Amino acid sequence: MDSSPVNWEALEALIIDFAKSENLIEDSSPPSSPSLSSSPSLSSSSYLSRLIIRQIRSSLEAGDVDAAIDLFRAHAPFVLEDHRLLFRLQKQKFIELLREGTTEDRGPAIDYLRTFLAPCALNAYPEAYEEFKHVLLAFIYDKDDQTSPVANEWAKKRRYEIAGLMSSVLRAHLHAYNPIFSMTLRYLISIHKGFCFRQGILSPISDLIERLLLLERDPPAIPQDSLYEAQPFDEVDIQALAHAVELTRQGAIDSLRFAKGDLFQAFQNEICRMRLDAAMLDELVREYCIYRGIVESGSLIPSRVQTLSEPLKGNPSESGCYSTQDGSLDVDYSSSKWSNSETSDTTDMSSMRGTNVELRYASDPANNLEDCSTSGSHQSENLRLPRNRSHGAGERSKRKRWRGRYDELDHISDIHFNRCSKQEVSTAMQVASATISKAQQGVENINGEEKYEIVLGMKELASRGMAAEVVEEINALDPNFFAQNPVLLFQLKQVEFLKLVGLGDHSGALKVACSHLGPLAASDPNLLKPLKETLLSLLRPSEDALVTGLPLHALATSLQVAFGKRLGIEEPQLVRIMRATLYTHTEWFKLQMCKDRFESLLRIDSLKENNTPVLTSLVSSKSNTESCNLGSSQVTISSTTRVSDDGGSPNQASSRDVICDENAILKVMEFLALPRADAIHLLAQYNGNAETVIQQIFA
């Protein structure tokens, strides 16, 4: 399976927003995401609501219905005013009283039955009284009798079902939706799994997603009785929702009823019913944040480091992953086709947690370049890594400390998360100095943590446009790196050229072009076009050629990934997940022959945006399949002759393009309960006539 490029800046914005929204990092600023649909913006109040929901879920799953009712009374009294929900809570409370008591001591359960459960059953909903009479059988049949007619009432899974139901109701009423990134991940993984199943292929990230996205879903929220008489919804919305979150048509209608016809709110309700392993997601996010220098490294340094003495082998996407006892993520190299069991030098994660080394947070604007050298004239030690430069203190202040997830409802003290002391800062600077001196000895003699520090330093230099310094530092560490990565060298020299042009040093810029850009383009014809475009900047000296010519953050990311891999530091697991799922998202909607209605809501379109250096224009993009919006006025052009990858045509029926009316597509989807792609292919066989398709199927 191929993978898609990821816009790291868009991904980083979503991940930082997620970490802030869930209070995983120490940061006083509010999340940056705009509001979703009609929901209020993700803020501390939304976090508190999600925290309350988690507490209620935890209480119900433990069988403590009274604690849950107390929380409802304090934070969501509307639940207790809804007799349909109250009856379910009271029925579970009755079962828990029976479970706690003995056969001889049934008094509390009987009293509760008379006082609360029986009166509520009369007014809850039409089926409630029958359910009430059925649950009375729990007096007769033992909880361990798996063949009894009330075995399901006794089952522990009932706790999880009612906990999930209450979570669904509370999320919608309190607008306590998960952060955008969490919903996006649920959606993309769901599509990825469906695509792989439909195409009969093995997912390269199955080791991660099978544990990250749980099979269980929360039950759907219950529409209010008055909404059962709502006007019919647009079939376009029904089908879009049903196929986006794998609902039946009736399930999609019920979801729209609960959301009062708001498609996007219904979609959010359904996406949040999917459950992620929160602990695993937090660890994946923390790994990414440390890799990018967003949070401090004292608590965790990714341990996926391989010695440079052995080249990387095979496909890194096939590496295994498991959770350690302390909750952190590690990689199982024993199942990896690319690791070398004899030479792999995996850094012990536990040995790094006490280290408080300051990493770089490369988020400064690229235009702070006036005090940065563009030549190799500065040979002092503070060019080895950017920590000791004058702007280092400002960069360190932007880094966050990982605080983790805490579910206490009371105010959480920050006493255990104070900024590092002067002694710790001094120790960090000593470690940085040691890293600089060891870097001069070559990468083979540097341990895993120091390699990680060096890569972040190179990323910071590149993000500030200090291309000459980057090239000098990397050549000192690994003289063969740019021989194996000539495109990166070309891009860095482009930055150096453009910067010199911006400073008015045309002779220096031409020297760089003659010494580096020209020879590199001569060895690779694909570089001739970007070389010409770069030289055109000589005609526009008044413009900020560096900023407009090359996105520095994208270049810094490319350098971090490439040089990190050279040192044995693999990309974060989250990037691996995003690459695979974004690719299958694109391929899935090619099969559906339409545009995803929800990709803008979940920022999927921005994650796919090609915001990489000029050189990416060398890569020819695949032509996109014609897409259409899910609207009643749209038409879809479906060709009955589709060329397969080997050049053959799998369908030889006709070579004509059949114009499929959107109403015809929806009619076939509705009557035959088919996915959109199957409906279009059937219509293509019968000249786009929906009635003919249906007649042929039922004939």
DSSP string for residues in 312-355:
--S-GGG-EEEE-TTS-EEEEGGG-SS--TTT--PPPGGGGTT-
Estimate the crossing angle of helix 573-592 against helix 180-199, to 10 degrees: 60
Instruction: State residue 554's pLDDT score.
Output: 87
Of 24-38, 94-108, 275-289, the range with the highest mean pLDDT is 275-289
Classified as helix, coil or strand, 631 is coil
The string of DSSP codes covering 577-588 is HHHHHHHHHHHH
List the one residue out of 442, 479, 473 whose CA is nearest residue 460: 473
Q: Looking at the domain assignment, is residue 113 inside a domain?
A: yes
Counted residue by residue, the chain has a size of 699
366 in Cβ contact with 544 (< 8 Å): no
Query: Tokens 């929360």 appear where?
Result: 218
Mean pLDDT of 114-120: 92
Residues in Cβ contact with 605 at an 8 Å cutoff, skipping those fewer than 6 apart = 599
For 587, 624, 635, 638, 664, the CA distances from 627, given in Å and listed in that order, are: 12, 8, 10, 10, 16
Comparison of pLDDT for 487 and 396, the residue scoring more: 487
437 in Cβ contact with 553 (< 8 Å): no
468 in Cβ contact with 375 (< 8 Å): yes
Across 14-23, 411-420, 471-480, 585-594, least confident range: 411-420
Whole-angstrom Cα distance, residue 264 to residue 270? 10
End-to-end Cα separation, the chain, in angstroms: 39
pLDDT at 691 over 90: no
pLDDT at 661 over 80: no
DSSP 357: -
Whole-angstrom Cα distance, residue 201 to residue 302? 30
Domain residue limits at 453: 448-571
Whole-angstrom Cα distance, residue 635 to residue 640? 16
224 in Cβ contact with 616 (< 8 Å): no
pLDDT at 347 over 50: no
Across 14-28, 277-291, 405-419, 520-534, least confident range: 405-419
Instruction: State residue 218's pLDDT score.
Output: 94
Comparison of pLDDT for 555 and 341, the residue scoring more: 555
Residue pLDDT, tens place only, 551-563: 788 899 999 999 9
Whole-angstrom Cα distance, residue 311 to residue 528? 31
List the one residue out of 576, 416, 426, 549 whose CA is nearest residue 492: 549
Whole-angstrom Cα distance, residue 170 to residue 186? 19
Query: Tokens 């498609």 appear where?
Result: 263
Whole-angstrom Cα distance, residue 359 to residue 460? 10
Of 79-88, 313-322, 690-699, the range with the highest mean pLDDT is 79-88
Instruction: State residue 50's pLDDT score.
Output: 93
3-state secondary structure 404-459: CCCCCCCCCCCHHHCCCCHHHHHHHHHHHHHHHHHHCCCHHHCCHHHHHHHHHHHH
Instruction: State residue 610's pLDDT score.
Output: 65
433 in Cβ contact with 384 (< 8 Å): no
pLDDT at 528 over 80: yes
Q: Looking at the domain assignment, is residue 259 inside a domain?
A: no
Instruction: State residue 22's pLDDT score.
Output: 92
Residue pLDDT, tens place only, 408-439: 544 433 323 233 333 433 333 343 344 434 44
pLDDT at 372 over 60: no
pLDDT at 487 over 50: yes
pLDDT band at 262 (very low <50, low <70, confident <90, very high): very high
Classified as helix, coil or strand, 692 is helix
Question: Cα-flanking dihedrals φ and ψ of residue 378, to 5°?
Answer: -85, 115
Domain boundary among 142, 174, 206: 174
Question: Rounded to the nearest 10 degrees, how much is the dihedral formed by the CA atoms of 13, 406, 207, 612?
Answer: 10
Residue pLDDT, tens place only, 137-148: 999 998 888 899
Whole-angstrom Cα distance, residue 58 to residue 29? 29
69 in Cβ contact with 89 (< 8 Å): yes
Question: Rounded to the nearest 10 degrees, how much is the dihedral formed by the CA atoms of 351, 354, 358, 363?
Answer: 80
Residue pLDDT, tens place only, 146-200: 899 999 999 999 999 999 999 999 999 999 999 999 999 999 999 999 999 989 9
Whole-angstrom Cα distance, residue 181 to residue 187? 10
Whole-angstrom Cα distance, residue 258 to residue 15? 30
Burial category of 590 from C-beta neighbours within 10 Å (exposed 0-12, middle 13-18, buried 19 and up): middle
Co-location of 452 and 553 in the same domain? yes
Residues in Cβ contact with 568 at an 8 Å cutoff, skipping those fewer than 6 apart = 304, 305, 306, 307, 308, 312, 345, 448, 451
617 in Cβ contact with 529 (< 8 Å): yes
Instruction: State residue 285's pLDDT score.
Output: 95
Mean pLDDT of 247-275: 93
Mean pLDDT of 214-226: 83
Comparison of pLDDT for 369 and 285, the residue scoring more: 285
pLDDT band at 444 (very low <50, low <70, confident <90, very high): low
Instruction: State residue 470's pLDDT score.
Output: 92
Mean pLDDT of 85-92: 95
List the one residue out of 54, 19, 48 whose CA is nearest residue 33: 19
Question: Cα-flanking dihedrals φ and ψ of residue 423, to 5°?
Answer: -65, -40
Q: Looking at the domain assignment, is residue 302 inside a domain?
A: no
Mean pLDDT of 76-103: 91
pLDDT band at 270 (very low <50, low <70, confident <90, very high): very high
Q: Looking at the domain assignment, is residue 671 inside a domain?
A: yes
Average pLDDT of the chain to the nearest whole number: 74
Whole-angstrom Cα distance, residue 341 to residue 339? 6
Instruction: State residue 546's pLDDT score.
Output: 52
Instruction: State residue 189's pLDDT score.
Output: 97
Instruction: State residue 424's pLDDT score.
Output: 36
Of 381-390, 403-412, 677-686, the range with the highest mean pLDDT is 677-686
pLDDT band at 447 (very low <50, low <70, confident <90, very high): low
Instruction: State residue 628's pLDDT score.
Output: 35
pLDDT at 11 over 50: yes
| Percent of the chain's residues with pLDDT above 90 | 41
Torsion sign, CA atoms 60, 65, 70, 75: positive
Instruction: State residue 58's pLDDT score.
Output: 95
Mean pLDDT of 257-264: 92
Residue pLDDT, tens place only, 293-337: 898 876 444 444 333 333 333 333 333 333 333 433 333 333 333
- Residue 413 corresponds to which tokens in the numbers above? 């003290």
pLDDT at 517 over 70: yes
β-strand partners of 320: 332
pLDDT at 239 over 70: yes
Q: Looking at the domain assignment, is residue 155 inside a domain?
A: yes
Mean pLDDT of 503-532: 90
| Percent of the chain's residues with pLDDT above 70 | 66
Q: Looking at the domain assignment, is residue 133 inside a domain?
A: yes
160 in Cβ contact with 214 (< 8 Å): no
Q: Looking at the domain assignment, is residue 590 inside a domain?
A: no
Domain boundary among 571, 595, 629: 571
> How many domains does the chain contain in total?
3
Whole-angstrom Cα distance, residue 616 to residue 483? 19
209 in Cβ contact with 577 (< 8 Å): yes
List the one residue out of 55, 84, 79, 83 whose CA is nearest residue 68: 55
pLDDT at 61 over 70: yes
DSSP 402: B
Query: How many other C-beta atoms lie within 10 A of the C-beta of residue 565?
Result: 15
Whole-angstrom Cα distance, residue 309 to residue 298? 27
Residues in Cβ contact with 614 at an 8 Å cutoff, skipping those fewer than 6 apart = 491, 494, 530, 533, 534, 549, 550
Whole-angstrom Cα distance, residue 45 to residue 429? 39
Mean pLDDT of 105-116: 89
Instruction: State residue 434's pLDDT score.
Output: 43
Co-location of 459 and 566 in the same domain? yes
Domain boundary among 571, 591, 614: 571
